[in-house]
Every structure is written in C-alpha cells, then in structure tokens.
Amino acid sequence: MAETPASSEGLNFTPLHEAHVALGAKMVPFAGYAMPVQYPLGVLGEHNWTRENAGLFDVSHMGQALLAGPDHATTAAALEALVPADILNLGRGRQRYTQFTTADGGIIDDLMVSRPLAEDEDGTLVLVVNAACKAGDYAHLEARLPAGVSLIPQEGRALLALQGPKAAAVMEKLAPDSAAMAFMAAQPMTVAGLSAHVSRSGYTGEDGFEISVAGGDAVALWNALLADEAVKPIGLGARDSLRLEAGLCLYGHDIDLTTSPVEAALTWSIQKRRRLEGGFPGADRICREIAEGPARLRVGLKPEGRAPAREGTEVRLPGGPAIGTVTSGGFGPTAGGPVAMGYVEAAHAAPGTAVELIVRGRALPASIVTLPFVPSRFRR
C-alpha cells in the first residue's frame, strides 16, 4: 500500500504523482511538492541499483525556464550580470553549471544553463533551478533583466533523470542520437517517439541523462524507460546518498547565502574570463578569495567506525578547538561507511588532517579526505 503525506493540502503534484503511488512509493512533502522518498526496494537497494544498473528519478519539481533575448550576446550578458560563469562563450548544444550570487558573494541558488543547438534559437538560454528556490530565482531574474530580455517559466514541463552505468544503453534504444552526446551536451531529441530536450548530466556521479518533456508526455516516457529491465524507479532518499558520495552540493545545506563559490570548492565553475573581468555580484570578494584563498573550505570528512555525522555536527581538532561544521552527512553504501561534507578553517583543510566529530556529546575520530568519496563516471 502506498503511503501519502498526512496532509497533501497546499502541496503541488508532478505529472507522475499517480505513477509513483501505483508503484508503492512512500510520498513525502519536499520543496512544496509530494515526492517519492523511496519505493518498496528501499533506499539502500535503490542506491545500489543506480550504481550498478540504471535508476529513474522524477525531478519535475525543479524549475525549468527560458531566458529569451534578440541574440546570444544580449541574453548571455543579461545572465552574466547575475552569475560568475562565462555564458557568452558557452557553445551551442552545451550546458554549464553556475550560481546566482549576492552583492557580498553568497549563493542565492545554483543552476544549470544550456544554449540551444539550433541557430534560430540563438537568443535563448535554458535554465534549470532548484525547486525550493525557483519562485525566488524567477523574481530575482525578472527584477534585474534588461529591456528586451525576458524570463519564460516552463511550468508545463516534466523532468526525468536516468542515471547509472547502464543508462546510456537504455537511452540509445529509445533515442539513438543520444549515443553521440558527450558529458554536459544538451540538445532536442526524440525519445520513445516523444519530443524532448536532453542533456547528458545528472546529480549522482554516474553517467546519465536529464530529459525534459511536456507534462502530458511524462507518464509515457516514464513507462517507456521503466519497460527496460535495467531500470528501476528511485526516490529522494537514494538521490541524496548518491549525490553525497559524489561530493555534490545540496542548496540550503552545503551552499547558501553565507557561502561563496570559492569557499564551496566551486572555483572550477568560474571561467578565466570572468575571473579577470569580474562584472558579477560579489566579484570583489570572490576574485579576492580566488587569488588569496578563502577563510574556510568545503571538504570531505570520513568518520572512523560506523556512526554517521549529521548536518550541524561540530568539527574539532583532536582534543582542541572547533574548526568547522558538517553540512551533509550519512551512510555511503558504495563508500562502505559513513561519509560527510562540511566547512573547516582553510588552515586545517588539507586531506589527511585528523579531526574529531562531536556526535551525541562524544568525540569520534575522523579525517579530512579528497572529494568525491566514490569516483565519478561521467562520460568525458
């Protein structure tokens, strides 16, 4: 019997809600939506299935929108005034990760930006933002866009993510053109006979695809993908453990208004031209931190033993003072034990540094390690 929220009043539903319920999903409120946290296979089984086969995720709660202007240079400049990434030189059919930043260098949200492949869409950019932040992101954009550039939310669309080592083989059967896509490619494509926008990306550390379709086509696509024996549905629980093992940030936990992209170890997402030219919110702080180093850094933390360190756990030097805090933590099934991420003072951020995690009043030994905990298998 499927579980649903105690009260669904005020919650939004994705186009796949009934499909989740029919599969026995445990539904929970998340970012204003009723979402599947797990299916009968369970979080551990779903995590392992995705690492070994192909997992199918409903991420239709994410915000999808178009930024439209008269030409690429104009639209790119409008977005570059709000993010530190080089959007002007983003190639056709390519996707890039970036962040909306504040005047003092904090992160309003992180997002994906893709440039359409077709020349006749050259004034358009495709944005995907976090579900919990999308209303604020849209307001932030609309208040700051210049004349001639407009935001067009794509509220009627669904978004599915197919992730895992068998994702490419599954996808190729339904969309032969997908086989030629490289990591972070993005293009229109017919998938199982349905018109879609596909990117080779995801948030699990595995190879995979994110497939945007009209909401009315979501169930047909979901069923076509699940018809392959390599594919099982995966809920939010396993999505979180997969992204944690992959060392990927979760907005509101690992990054927020108090963290800069440099502190968050996201400097790689700021291309050379933007570092030199600036011109984005918080550029003074962010460029200074790139040049001189930040006061603190996001790091991987590997506890000894089996006890997980959860968000908010204090990080100390052994027998000494506090140097930071855990922002994400839990059990890493593929890593074979507890894993965590958090911020520590930059002077103590080197891999191999011994630390203590204060869990339920007890000091548990741990060490700072290089991220990710599980090697990523993106198609390069």
**Whole-number Å distance between alpha carbons of 189 and 191:** 6
Residue after which a domain boundary falls, among 221, 245, 269: 245
Please indicate, yes or no, if residue 38 is contained in any of the structural domains. yes
Residue after which a domain boundary falls, among 210, 228, 245: 245
**Whole-number Å distance between alpha carbons of 250 and 234:** 18
pLDDT in tens, 147-180: 999 999 999 999 999 999 999 999 999 999 999 9
In this predicted structure, the answer to whether residue 323 has a pLDDT above a threshold of 50 is yes
Position 379 scores a pLDDT of: 86
Domain count, the chain: 2
pTM above threshold 0.75 = yes
Whether residues 190 and 300 fall in one domain: no
How far is C-alpha 198 from the geometric centre of its chain's CA atoms? 16
Whether residues 200 and 347 fall in one domain: no
Please indicate, yes or no, if residue 29 is contained in any of the structural domains. yes
Whether residues 228 and 300 fall in one domain: no
Whether residues 39 and 170 fall in one domain: yes
CATH number of domain containing 351? 2.40.30.110
Please indicate, yes or no, if residue 317 is contained in any of the structural domains. yes
SS3 assignment, position 48: helix
φ and ψ at 241, to 5 degrees?
Answer: -70, -35
Report the 10 Å Cβ neighbour count for 195. Answer: 12
Helix 218-226 × helix 167-174 angle, to 10°: 120
In this predicted structure, the answer to whether residue 239 has a pLDDT above a threshold of 90 is yes
pLDDT in tens, 19-74: 999 999 999 999 999 999 999 999 999 999 999 999 999 999 999 999 999 999 99
* Residue showing tokens 């933590």: 329
Q: How confident is the model over 76-88, as a mean pLDDT?
A: 98
**Whole-number Å distance between alpha carbons of 110 and 299:** 18
Whether residues 228 and 306 fall in one domain: no
Please indicate, yes or no, if residue 197 is contained in any of the structural domains. yes
Q: Which amino acid is at 297?
A: L
DSSP secondary structure string for all residues of 219-261:
HHHHHHHHTSTTEEE--HHHHHHHHHHTT---BTTTBSTT--T
pLDDT in tens, 184-227: 999 999 999 999 999 999 999 999 999 999 999 999 999 999 99
pLDDT in tens, 250-304: 999 999 999 999 999 999 999 999 999 999 999 999 999 999 999 999 999 999 9
Residue after which a domain boundary falls, among 186, 213, 245: 245
Domain extent, residue 219, equals: 12-60+156-245
Give me the count of residues in the chain: 380
In this predicted structure, the answer to whether residue 243 has a pLDDT above a threshold of 70 is yes
- 8 pLDDT band, cuts 50/70/90, is low
Please indicate, yes or no, if residue 277 is contained in any of the structural domains. no
pLDDT in tens, 325-379: 999 999 999 999 999 999 999 999 999 999 999 999 999 999 999 999 999 999 8
**Whole-number Å distance between alpha carbons of 290 and 270:** 10
Nearest to 369 by CA among 305, 318, 301: 301
Please indicate, yes or no, if residue 85 is contained in any of the structural domains. no
